[in-house]
Structure formats: structure tokens, C-alpha cells
């Protein structure tokens, strides 16, 4: 297991690369979902008036 995480000595390059990719793509997905829910709620409120 420790050997896996060491990535043959390249851990300090491999894991940040995976981290950046995950952070940016998951962040974008979260941002898109939150914006969608917000627009849905605002439209529901407007239509109830």
C-alpha cells in the first residue's frame, strides 16, 4: 500500500496532478448543480406569485 502511494518516487508529481483534476472537475460539477437548483427554485417562486 505504501509502495502504491509512493508512485515509484514520483508521488509529489502524480498525486497533485490527480488532485488538481479532481478539484477542478468536481468543483465545476458542483457549481453547475448549485446554479441549476438555484434557477429552478427561483423560477418556482416566481411562478407561484
Report the interface residues with other proteins, using CB under 8 A: 4, 7-10, 13-14, 16-18, 20-21, 24-25, 28-29, 32-33, 35-36, 39-40, 42-43, 46-47
Q: Shortest gap between Cβ of 2 and other proteins (angstroms)?
A: 13
Q: Position of cell 498525486?
A: 15
> Do the Cβ atoms of 5 and 11 come closer than 8 Å?
yes
Residue 47, C-alpha cell as written in the block = 411562478
Q: In Å, how far from its chain's centre is CA 48?
A: 33
Which residue lies nearer to other proteins by CB, 2 or 13?
13
Q: Shortest gap between Cβ of 30 and other proteins (angstroms)?
A: 11
Amino acid at each position: 500500500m505504501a509502495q502504491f502511494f509512493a508512485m515509484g518516487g514520483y508521488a509529489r508529481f502524480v498525486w497533485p496532478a490527480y488532485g488538481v483534476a479532481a478539484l477542478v472537475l468536481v468543483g465545476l460539477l458542483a457549481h453547475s448543480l448549485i446554479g441549476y437548483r438555484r434557477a429552478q427554485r427561483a423560477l418556482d417562486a416566481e411562478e407561484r406569485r
